[in-house]
Amino acid sequence: MNNIAVKTTAAKNTATLLITCPDSKGIVAAIADFLYQHNANILHADQHQDAENNLFLMRVEWDLAGFNLLPADFEQHFAEIAKRFSMEWQLKLSQKPLRVAIMVSQYDHCLADLLHRHKNGELVCDIPLIISNHKDTEALAKFYGVDFHYIEVKKDNKPEAEARQFALFDQYDIDLIVLARYMQILSPDFVARYPKQIINIHHSFLPAFIGARPYHRAFERGVKLIGATGHYVTEVLDEGPIIEQDIDRISHRDQVEDLIQKGRDLERIVLSKAVRWHIENRILLYANKTVIFD
Amino acid sequence: MNNIAVKTTAAKNTATLLITCPDSKGIVAAIADFLYQHNANILHADQHQDAENNLFLMRVEWDLAGFNLLPADFEQHFAEIAKRFSMEWQLKLSQKPLRVAIMVSQYDHCLADLLHRHKNGELVCDIPLIISNHKDTEALAKFYGVDFHYIEVKKDNKPEAEARQFALFDQYDIDLIVLARYMQILSPDFVARYPKQIINIHHSFLPAFIGARPYHRAFERGVKLIGATGHYVTEVLDEGPIIEQDIDRISHRDQVEDLIQKGRDLERIVLSKAVRWHIENRILLYANKTVIFD
Amino acid sequence: MNNIAVKTTAAKNTATLLITCPDSKGIVAAIADFLYQHNANILHADQHQDAENNLFLMRVEWDLAGFNLLPADFEQHFAEIAKRFSMEWQLKLSQKPLRVAIMVSQYDHCLADLLHRHKNGELVCDIPLIISNHKDTEALAKFYGVDFHYIEVKKDNKPEAEARQFALFDQYDIDLIVLARYMQILSPDFVARYPKQIINIHHSFLPAFIGARPYHRAFERGVKLIGATGHYVTEVLDEGPIIEQDIDRISHRDQVEDLIQKGRDLERIVLSKAVRWHIENRILLYANKTVIFD
Amino acid sequence: MNNIAVKTTAAKNTATLLITCPDSKGIVAAIADFLYQHNANILHADQHQDAENNLFLMRVEWDLAGFNLLPADFEQHFAEIAKRFSMEWQLKLSQKPLRVAIMVSQYDHCLADLLHRHKNGELVCDIPLIISNHKDTEALAKFYGVDFHYIEVKKDNKPEAEARQFALFDQYDIDLIVLARYMQILSPDFVARYPKQIINIHHSFLPAFIGARPYHRAFERGVKLIGATGHYVTEVLDEGPIIEQDIDRISHRDQVEDLIQKGRDLERIVLSKAVRWHIENRILLYANKTVIFD
């Protein structure tokens, strides 16, 4: 393939620390001093303070070359600071890329897009598994060398179908499930099993046109812009935290079919950004919202 | 002022014919032949066919210099064609610009914008009247030489207040009422009196966040884009035909106040486009939608 | 594949007439009457008048079902009108889709995108031929069932290489050549051979950053937006008529690699629109500009 | 006026520290510790590392309530850190808003926009002075209560005219000069006198269409998007660091006059953002580029 470097390349060896805690004085000083004491070469740092909720959120990424703590020892040494400021924190290592499963039905534009970006080095993760309730995308999966599993979903077999899906997620050691126009509604059990680990693309500008057939309803309402929304899946349909949205302009000349066509480009771009930000550990969640450290 | 020419300038002397009828063969041939026979110099023509509703919609504008029919005689000569194709039609003359009233409350950004565009020659219409339920914008009205009427609206005086408003619309011979962030809900009687003659700016991307405090609700939902919608006012709140919409990107760094600030730019641009297209006779209405012949 | 209908579907059987002529009274009447006399069911009609250049341009598409002229007889019957108004005209039949060749080097994102859209029914044309000066995209071509020809281009073999390319275009009966990030400059002979038949994607917002390495130069200049431009190729590099452009926002956080990554999405969307409008006969050329009858 | 709160309101009492220095380990730790030791309540902090140029840039804003250093004593206490890391730094106090002069010719849309935003509380600065080479905008200046000075500029009086301008800048104690469609080219002496203190709005998407009549040249080239660029003025025309850019879509239907009209909205929005970011101390300059800490 072409050797295109992107922000996060596979070659690099970095650690990323994500922190959420009540806001108070001295947090940055404590973290910065800790990293300095351990000889961290900081590559990116970004933070956000939510005054209304009195929250402090931070993402800091550093080069592990020269860092004088082993990742395995990080928790022990960081514990005092974390406790002092009541932090929730996670440490992510670039050398352990996330393992992503893609679920898809018949529309294959998002799937083809994600697989092509992955091949191009734009999505730094492993994609070992595709699950579909149709066989249409099997050839595409094969072309990109990803295991494809067909699991039929009918009215009366959803529990068994999902049980087979769960088994595959376990077997492939999946960290993130991407619904790339997967046209089945997940059970509450499914959603509860993978909190903050399921990303969906909804083909409207949420909260407009929640639910089914958004392009048809947008057409009937006579809107002048259509949209797409990438969001985490939670128990309430299309109400999860929004990661990214985008829109395109339409006119009276556009029929429903044109909305669907234009929407495909929105869906591809929005979903790929949502997935990229997740696997690059750029998203923090709070109050049903996302902070994107882009 | 600066001598800026725009698409529709006050100087020109044109007629614009707007047509809606069932689609059938021969419509364009009949209209084009009629105009040719009367020596019309066509400046712009645009049409739209809605296959689903079997509708034909057209806008044609021609120079009245050389046209060998007096506007007063147009109806008589056009009647045969209109009847043959069951047309609804209107003839608009550039020499009779629309008379526009603006209603406003305390937020004056849309008002200031409309008045400045009018002065610059961008909005070719007469603006003889501003009505407000606050006195804040009186100085601005005076600066631009427009009559200002303060009409207080309280819980228990809406019928009287609206009666005074109706009297002013009559007195000033108003063709179009623009709600430029007028924060009172109009009565059904008001709306019914001025069908397709009231344009409102709603500060959200309809149909998301219908009703009050859309920026606050957008903030709470955590959307990544905010919007504004210019629409005709009908009996159901925020459900009228949409004329124009636009959006701006926001991030987790933006608080409600930032949404409000960014939204002001959207509101100004969207409302001014909606008003301009209306006064230039570029809008046709059908099926609760608009066709914009831009 | 999924059965997605789009504006121009393969199934339909229509004729599209494209006209350019000096503007004068009676043109529309003459054309509309001609089509009406021959029982045409007009599906779309759009026109443009360029007052400055005194030009009239029109696109009209009608259903051939019921039309009482054979396409082969059209010219003979239309000749009188064409002569009267000094028209340049073309008649295009949906049953004879254009035959498109794609030329590509190592970056395969535009190629993969075009092939996927074609498979999805979004690009209604034949794509029988891919030519590349690298072998990287051979597998992709094979997956989509398109003939792939590798033609090496070196400093000293361009005439021979182009001769082989011309032979392939002849052999495959090619109507349109799409340069999908083909990184070789075509000879003047090549360009002259295929006037208005070569579409290129340039990775900048022309006329900014004409020539090589536009993303690097955009980065150095510190622009806040990057762009892509789809245009016809003419003898002067990057100076041909522009078909479509789009931009994306960047910030100081974006390095050259990020510009390249963001640019890929622009390139894909802009090039695919340019190709689609060409094969749907929506583009008219005059004065080194395009009219897009969208 | 309406009581709209924005990101930076006049009421707040904050200090903003802007830093540029070679990148090295320990910078953030040193700054954060310094602020913590002096009991600063940090409101916003943002930083940027330019790996290619080995630069570190930072903006940090804190509440002065509770901060235990007087601004006048800041330099003395901060000197050691500044020296250790070879910092260029500035300390800005919200209680000392910038004093802004606006220069304008006949087109008044940017001026009207800036004055209205200032009145609305969106631009937190003082605007005591307007200078124009035409008298057209005098009434507008008076309406907003700003001193207006008419200084004619002819071919042979530029040195004297500029001398009068310099005297006014001195007299009004001006920190920032905004060229709001001021159609005279400043002398090298003028530019050299006010480094990084002059913001201009150019009515094209730089570097496309540098120089005069950009809309006319955009029209002739047949671009599909027009743009506007807000930038600092340096000795080379239209080559200064870009602060903000935006674009709007045009089509073949748009004549030069339409480009000019659409461009006005771009110019207003782009210029107002550039001015706002400057007066809120959100811009850092390096390598002829800007970092915007938004």
C169-186 per-position pLDDT tens digit: 999 999 999 999 999 999
The residue out of C64, C93, C122 marking a domain boundary is C93
- DSSP per-residue letters across D233-264: --SSTT-SPEEEEEEEE--TT--HHHHHHHHH
CATH assignment of the domain containing C249 = 3.40.50.170
A143: nearest Cα among A126, A125, A130 = A130
| Residue D112 lies inside a defined structural domain of this protein | yes
- Does the distance separating the beta carbons of B49 and C44 come in below 8 Å? yes
**What is the pLDDT confidence band of residue D7, given thresholds at 50, 70 and 90?**
very low
Q: List chain B residues with CB under 8 Å of A48.
A: 252-253
Instruction: Tell me the pLDDT of chain D averaged across its residues.
Output: 94
At A52 the pLDDT is: 85
Q: Are residues A37 and A108 in the same domain?
A: no
**Can you tell me the ipTM of this complex?**
0.93
Measured in whole angstroms, how far is the alpha carbon of residue A218 from the centre of its chain? Answer: 26
Please tell me the distance from the alpha carbon of residue B191 to that of residue B233, in angstroms, as a whole number. 7
Average the pLDDT over C94-106 and give the result: 97
A28 with D44: Cβ contact below 8 A: no
SS3 C193: helix
Same domain for C192 and C214? yes
Number of other CB atoms surrounding residue A144 within 10 Å = 17
Answer yes or no: is pLDDT of C5 > 50: no
> Is C6's pLDDT higher than 70?
no
Contact yes or no for D180/D105 (Cβ under 8 A): no
Rg (CA), chain D: 21
Q: In C, which residues are within 8 Å of B32 by CB distance?
A: 28-29, 32-33
Residue C53, phi then psi, degrees to nearest 5? -95, 5
Backbone torsions φ then ψ of B207, nearest 5 degrees = -85, 15
Residue bearing tokens 């140029």? D53
Assign residue B54 the CATH number of its domain.
Answer: 3.30.70.260
Q: Which chains touch D (3 or more CB pairs under 8 A)?
A: A, B, C
Out of C247, C252, C292, name the one closest to residue D48 (CB). C252
What is the structure's pLDDT at C124?
Answer: 96
Residue-level pLDDT at A45: 94
Q: Quick check: is B1 in a domain?
A: no
Measured at the CA of B180, the angle between CA B179 and CA B182, to 5 degrees, comes to: 65
pLDDT for residue B6 is more than 70: no
> Cβ–Cβ of D43/A49 closer than 8 Å?
yes
pLDDT at position C244, please? 98
Q: Residue B174 has what pLDDT?
A: 98
Please indicate, yes or no, whether residues B109 and B198 belong to a single structural domain of this protein. yes
In this predicted model, what pLDDT tens digit does every residue of D23-62 receive, in sequence order?
999 999 999 999 999 999 999 999 999 988 999 999 999 9
- Cite the active site residues of D: 238
The arithmetic mean of pLDDT across residues B17-42, rounded, is 96
Q: Could you tell me if A87 and A216 lie in one domain?
A: no
- Please give the full DSSP string across D175-231, using - where no structure is assigned: SEEEESS--SPPPHHHHHHSTT-EEEEESS-TTTT-SS-HHHHHHHHT-SEEEEEEE
Strand partners, C58: C19, C47
Among A106, A116, A139, select the one facing C2 at the smallest CB separation: A106
C-alpha–C-alpha distance, residues A89 and C157, integer Å: 60
Give the three-state DSSP class for C44.
strand
Summarize the confidence of residues A264-287 as an average pLDDT.
97
**Averaged pLDDT of chain A:** 94
Percent of chain D's residues with pLDDT above 90: 91
Locus of tokens 């974390």: A82
On the 0-12 / 13-18 / 19+ scale of CB atoms within 10 A, B272 is: buried
Q: Which of B208, B242, B244 sits opposite A205 (nearest CB)?
A: B208
Asked if residue D260 belongs to a domain, the reply is yes
Question: How many residue pairs bridge chain B and chain D with CB atoms within 8 Å of each other?
Answer: 54
Query: Residue A11 has what pLDDT?
Result: 63
Res. D181 pLDDT band, cuts 50 70 90: very high
**What pLDDT does residue B11 have?**
63
Choose the closest CB to A252 out of B205, B225, B289: B289
Best of C43, C59, C61, C113 to disrupt the A interface (most A CBs within 10 Å) is: C113
pLDDT tens digit sequence for A229-260: 999 999 988 899 999 999 999 999 999 999 99
Question: What confidence tens digit (pLDDT) does each residue in A97-141 have?
Answer: 999 999 999 999 999 999 999 999 999 999 999 999 999 999 999
Measured in degrees and rounded to the nearest 5, phi and psi for residue C16 equal -125, 125
The 3 state secondary structure assigned to A157-216 is CHHHHHHHHHHHHHHCCCCEEEECCCCCCCCHHHHHHCCCCEEEEECCCCCCCCCCCHHH
Q: Which residues of C touch B51 (CB under 8 A)?
A: 43
Asked whether the beta carbons of B218 and B210 are under 8 A apart, the reply is no
Are B89 and B171 found together in one domain? no
Q: How many CB atoms lie within 10 A of CB A119?
A: 17
Contact assignment for C28 to B26 by CB distance below 8 Å:
no
Candidate from A224-228, B3-7, B233-237, D34-38 with smallest mean pLDDT? B3-7
Does the residue D190 lie in any domain?
Answer: yes
* pLDDT band, very low/low/confident/very high, at B10 (cuts 50, 70, 90): very low
> Is D2 among the domain residues?
no
Residue C73 within any structural domain of the chain: yes
CA separation for the pair C229, C243 (Å, rounded): 8
Identify all chain C residues contacting B36, using CB atoms and an 8 Å cutoff. Answer: 25-26, 28-29
- Claim to verify: residue B29 and residue B154 sit in the same structural domain: no
The number of domains in chain D is 2
pLDDT tens sequence across B233-276:
999 888 999 999 999 999 999 999 999 999 999 999 999 999 99
On whether both B51 and B125 belong to a single domain, the answer is no
**Among D33, D43, D44, beta carbon nearest to A29:** D33
For the stretch B104-148, pLDDT in tens is 999 999 999 999 999 999 999 999 999 999 999 999 999 999 999
pLDDT tens track for B75-100: 999 999 999 999 999 999 999 999 99
The 10s digit of each residue's pLDDT in D104-148 is 999 999 999 999 999 999 999 999 999 999 999 999 999 999 999
| Residue D11: per-residue pLDDT | 63
pLDDT band at C261 (very low <50, low <70, confident <90, very high): very high
pLDDT at A283 over 80: yes
Question: How many Å apart are CA D257 and CA B6, to the nearest integer?
Answer: 5
Say if residue A197's pLDDT is above 80: yes
> Hey, of A48, A242, A252, which one would you mutate to test binding to chain B, going by the most B CBs within 10 A of its CB?
A252
Does D203 share its domain with D167?
Answer: yes
Single-letter amino acid code for the residue at A93? L
* pLDDT at site B51: 86
Long-range contacts of C140-146 (CB under 8 A, 24+ apart): C140/C108, C140/C111, C140/C112, C140/C115, C141/C115, C143/A139, C143/A143, C144/C115, C144/C116, C144/C118, C144/C119, C146/C102, C146/C115
Rounded Cα distance between C45 and B286, Å, is: 20
Give the pLDDT band of residue C294 (cuts 50, 70, 90).
Answer: confident
Average pLDDT on C124-133 reads 98
- Using an 8 Å CB-CB cutoff, list chain B residues near C25: 36, 39-42
Residue D119 lies in a domain: yes
Across-strand partners of D176?
D100
Q: Does the CA dihedral C240-C246-C252-C256 come out positive or negative?
A: negative
CA quadruple B81, B83, B84, B87: dihedral sign: positive
**Beta-carbon contacts of residue C180 (< 8 Å; ≥ 6 apart):** C102, C103, C104, C110, C111, C114, C201, C271
Cite the DSSP H helix spans in chain C. Answer: 27-37, 71-84, 109-119, 138-143, 158-171, 188-193, 214-221, 256-279
Q: Do C140 and C253 fall within a single domain?
A: yes
pLDDT band at residue D19, thresholds of 50, 70 and 90?
very high
Q: Which strands, in side-by-side order, build the sheet including B225-232?
A: B147-150, B126-132, B99-104, B176-179, B198-202, B225-232, B242-249
Both tokens of D69, joined, read 């250093």
Spacing of C-alpha B218 from chain mean position: 26
Contact assignment for D42 to A49 by CB distance below 8 Å: yes
Measured CA to CA, the distance from residue C101 to residue D164 in angstroms comes to: 65
Neighbours of C263 (CB within 10 A): 21
Range of the domain at B21: 14-93
Domain-ending residue, one of D93, D128, D161: D93
Distances (CA, A) of C147 to A99, C167, C171, C284: 35, 14, 12, 30
Give residue A7's pLDDT: 41
Query: In Å, how far are A95, A98, A127, C61 from A123, measured between CA atoms?
Result: 14, 10, 10, 43
Q: Does pLDDT of D152 surpass 70? A: yes
Among D93, D111, D126, the domain boundary falls at D93
A238 is catalytic: yes
Residue D2 has pLDDT above 80, yes or no: no
C285 with C239, same domain: the answer is yes
The fraction of chain C above a pLDDT of 90, given in percent, is 92
Residues A287 and A271 in one domain: yes
Confidence of residue C9 (pLDDT cuts 50, 70, 90): very low
pLDDT of residue C11: 63
What is the average per-residue pLDDT within B189-197?
A: 97
D198 — pLDDT class (breaks 50, 70, 90):
very high
Nearest CA in chain D to B111: D116
Residue of B79, B3, B66, B90 whose CA lies nearest to B34: B79
- Please name the residue that has the structure tokens 């001026």: D111
**Residue A8 pLDDT:** 42
B110 and B36 in one domain?
no
* Lookup: tokens for C110: 């535009």
Contact C118, C194 (CB under 8 A): no
User: In this structure, is residue B83 part of a structural domain?
Assistant: yes
What secondary structure letter does DSSP report for C5? -
Angle between helices A256-279 and A214-221 (to 10 degrees): 130
**What pLDDT is recorded for position A201?**
98
